[in-house]
Each structure stands twice: as structure tokens, then as C-alpha cells.
Amino acid sequence: MRKHEAADIAIKLKLTESVVVRTDAMGQRVIEHVDDTPTEAVMLWVVQP
């Protein structure tokens, strides 16, 4: 049985997000979410039991 004293977990969080709202040809509202998170925006967490 292995004993893990700590574990490294990489979690990418969306730190920023833009929303584009426009009107289509039928007059309906169209909402588009644009992920503009920088690729280097990664948080590393160390979890200890």
C-alpha cells in the first residue's frame, strides 16, 4: 500500500470571460461566451491529507 503525503493538483481556472451579445437575422438575441483566459493562468495546489 502506498502512502501519499502530498499530491500536486493542477487546476485551470477561468479567470476572465467575455460575453458578446448580438441580434441575429430573425431579431433574436444571441449570447456568446468567449474564453479569453491567458494560457499561463494555471494554479497549482498542494493537498495534504
11-38, pLDDT tens digit by residue?
A: 655 556 678 899 999 999 998 888 776 6
Give residue 28's pLDDT.
Answer: 92
Among residues 3, 7, 14, the alpha carbon closest in space to that of 39 is found at 14
Give residue 20's pLDDT.
Answer: 86
Question: In sequence order, which residues have a C-beta less than 8 Å from that of residue 9 and are 6 or more positions away?
Answer: 44, 45, 46, 47
Handedness of CA 32, 15, 38, 46 (dihedral sign): negative
pTM over 0.75: no
Give residue 25's pLDDT.
Answer: 92
- Domain locations along the chain: 7-47
